[in-house]
Amino acid sequence: MAAKLVVSAANSALGRVVLERALLRTDLELVALVRSARAESELPPLPRERARAVVVPYEDAAGLRDACAGAAGVLHLAGILIESRTTRYPEANVETTRALVEAVRARGSAKFVLVSAVGADPRAKNPYWRSKGEAEALVRASGLPYTILRCPLVLGCNNAGVQAVVREIQLPFVPLPAGGANVEQPIDARDAADGALNAALDRDCARDATLDLVGPESLPLRELVRRAARTIGRSPVVLPVPVAPLRALLALRTALLGPGFSPDVIDVMLCDARFDPTPAAKALGIELRPLDETIAHSLALLGCS
């Protein structure tokens, strides 16, 4: 009998890669959970005999319970880095997790996998990291078997990070906060997806563990940009943007216009990622792709190769 897997926020950039990787496995009943018809339209093609989309808002407790009934695993990808007037950190990062945890608990004891972020901490002053930490705490306190995966910059999918890199490497000059000195450790979306799927479908895989699921290399952002640019035969000049004036400008923008690109986002962007990639890869049973392969794949996705 096929195992049922529920993927929440399946229309996200990483969610779409998760669906594609999940469809390579023939022993799954796949449920792609989205909150609107617009989100459903963003999903990759789903074969009717093996997969289906379920449109249900997180406020619909009964609908969530029905979607999660009988699931062997639930993989939760919902969350935002940049707030908007309609979506704030507590609602997107914490309350969606709370709603899904309650739905899963009401309909069994599925393995719960939460994709979080490096730096998550419920005591953090930064509201993004704090909300991610609070979501993690909900999962740990749920009584469900769980795995929490803290990811850094994710490449190899059509997300904002990849789109930014593609824009930057085609410019003669690339403005980067602090000159791109912050250290990134990007992971390939395919590796993140495979690790999350392994955890969700095997109760004992990284059970009750919190893992830093990072890529094989740490390097300054400016070097990542230059490395990507060399792939297409370009060599842009990095222009350092002073951080203090940038924060002040973004604070003024936020005060005048409300939620959006804020000093809190800059703090997250400038956070260094230096982790040993081996423990998470070993626990999840995956082999990490080389960074150059990930860069090439990322550029090809957006037609920049």
The amino acid present at 122, given as its one-letter code, is P
Give the pLDDT of residue 27.
87
Q: Would you state the pLDDT for residue 11?
A: 94
The predicted-structure confidence for 24-62, as pLDDT tens digits, reads as follows 998 899 999 999 999 999 999 999 999 999 999 999 999
* pLDDT tens-place string over residues 271-299: 999 999 999 999 999 999 999 999 999 99
| pLDDT at residue 78 greater than cutoff 90 | no
Mean pLDDT for the chain? 95
Name the band, by pLDDT with cuts 50, 70 and 90, for residue 154: very high
> Does pLDDT of 305 surpass 80?
no
CATH superfamily of 3-155+187-216+274-288: NAD(P)-binding Rossmann-like Domain (3.40.50.720)
Q: How confident is the model at residue 157 (pLDDT cuts 50, 70, 90)?
A: very high
Q: Select the more confidently predicted residue: 59 or 107.
A: 59
Give the pLDDT score at 119. 96
CA gyration radius for the chain? Answer: 19
- Report d(CA 153, CA 151) in Å as an integer: 7
Structure confidence at residue 303 as a pLDDT band (50, 70, 90): confident
In the predicted model, what is the mean pLDDT of residues 82-110?
Answer: 94
Say if residue 304's pLDDT is above 90: no
Q: What would the pLDDT profile of 183-235 be if each residue is shown by its tens digit? A: 999 999 999 999 999 999 999 999 999 999 999 999 999 999 999 999 999 99
Max CA distance (Å), the chain: 59
Q: Where are the domains of the chain?
A: 3-155+187-216+274-288
Which residue, among 274, 215, 268, has the nearest Cα to 93 in the 3D structure?
A: 268
Residue 82: C-alpha distances to residues 88, 127, 168, 265, 266 (Å)? 8, 11, 20, 7, 10
Ordered alpha helix ranges (H), the chain: 13-22, 37-41, 61-68, 89, 96-106, 127-140, 160-169, 189-201, 221-231, 243-257, 263-269, 278-284, 291-301
pLDDT of 120 above 80: yes
Any idea what DSSP says for residue 282? H
Confidence of residue 81 (pLDDT cuts 50, 70, 90): very high
Q: Where are the alpha helices (DSSP H) in 220-260?
A: 221-231, 243-257
Which letter does DSSP use for residue 128 in this model?
H
pLDDT at 1 over 80: no
Burial label for 213, CB within 10 Å (0-12, 13-18, 19+), is buried
